[in-house]
Amino acid sequence: MKAIILGVMALSGLGLAFGVLLAWVSKKFHVQIDPRVEKVTELLPGVNCGACGFAGCSALAEALVADTAQLTACPVSGADSKKQIAQELGVCAVDLHNITPLAVVACNGGTRAKDKFKYQGLADCRVAVKTMGGPKNCKYACVGQGTCATVCPANAISMRADGIPLINPDLCVGCTKCVAVCPSNIIYMLEREKKVYIKCRSRDKGAQVMKNCKCGCIACMKCVKECPVKCISIVDNLAVIDHAKCINCQKCVAVCPTKCIAVL
């Protein structure tokens, strides 16, 4: 009995000693966490998608507080959230909305683009384009199943009555998820101050474009000739704008016979 009591006392003593040791180690090696990290984490979307290049929102928050990441790193959070983070960190709250790139749709076809067949399968663009080569005569056309709208985290995309995605510039956060999911590669990112863009991706010759939808680029050269700064060229039967040179004069928009040059 005495041996049992001594054993219990010995174990209790060891437990107390280890407890004191752990408390000392915890205090000795305690890492002070900046309280701003928790606040910034709360202001981030919390989706932990990794698109910012960090292992989740909390890791990005730590980097923002440590000034090793940019306020624009998160492609999902909106301009208001970024401004709140800027205020929390005491940095200049620039107009983040205007420097966030905007997703644009480079297709003017929709229901105007002739169908090869009536698609009645799963409402997914990726499935549609793999079904007998896609339902449109133009292989570059939007198939209108709305997959881009489904994946948009900001609900910035809706489908127009003519089957073309409509992107709300006030809601778009530049996350590029719609770009990644579009199997026709007709969605791309454009700097907001670059107002003019081509609403077509077809590399077909003009006659074939007119046969398919009549509202695509026919490489007529009118925009090239009209541009005062020579920022438009024809590449593989498609007008291409060099946005580094474009001055947003919109003269090309006025002369385009198929109205495939648009303004944000």
Q: How many CA atoms lie within 13 A of 163 on its CB side?
A: 19
CA dihedral sign, ordered 56, 38, 100, 109: positive
In the CATH hierarchy, which fold is given to the domain comprising 102-263? Alpha-Beta Plaits (3.30.70)
Residue 229 CB: number of other CB atoms within 10 A?
A: 11
Nearest alpha carbon to residue 161 among 112, 90, 223:
112
* 24 sits in which H/E element: helix 2-28
The residue with tokens 């006030």 is 170
Architecture of domain 37-98: Orthogonal Bundle (1.10)
pTM exceeds 0.85: no
pLDDT tens sequence for the chain (264 residues): 656 665 556 566 666 666 666 665 556 554 567 788 888 888 888 878 777 888 888 898 888 888 888 777 787 777 678 888 888 887 765 555 556 788 999 999 999 999 999 999 999 999 999 999 999 999 999 999 999 999 998 889 999 999 999 999 888 878 889 999 999 999 999 988 888 999 999 999 999 999 999 899 999 999 999 999 999 999 999 999 999 999 999 999 999 999 999 998
The ranges assigned to domains in the chain are: 37-98, 102-263
CA distances from 32 to 41, 56, 176 (A): 17, 21, 36
- Residue 148's contacts (CB-CB under 8 Å, 6 or more residues apart) are 125, 157, 165, 178, 181, 182, 187
Whole-number Å distance between alpha carbons of 199 and 253: 11
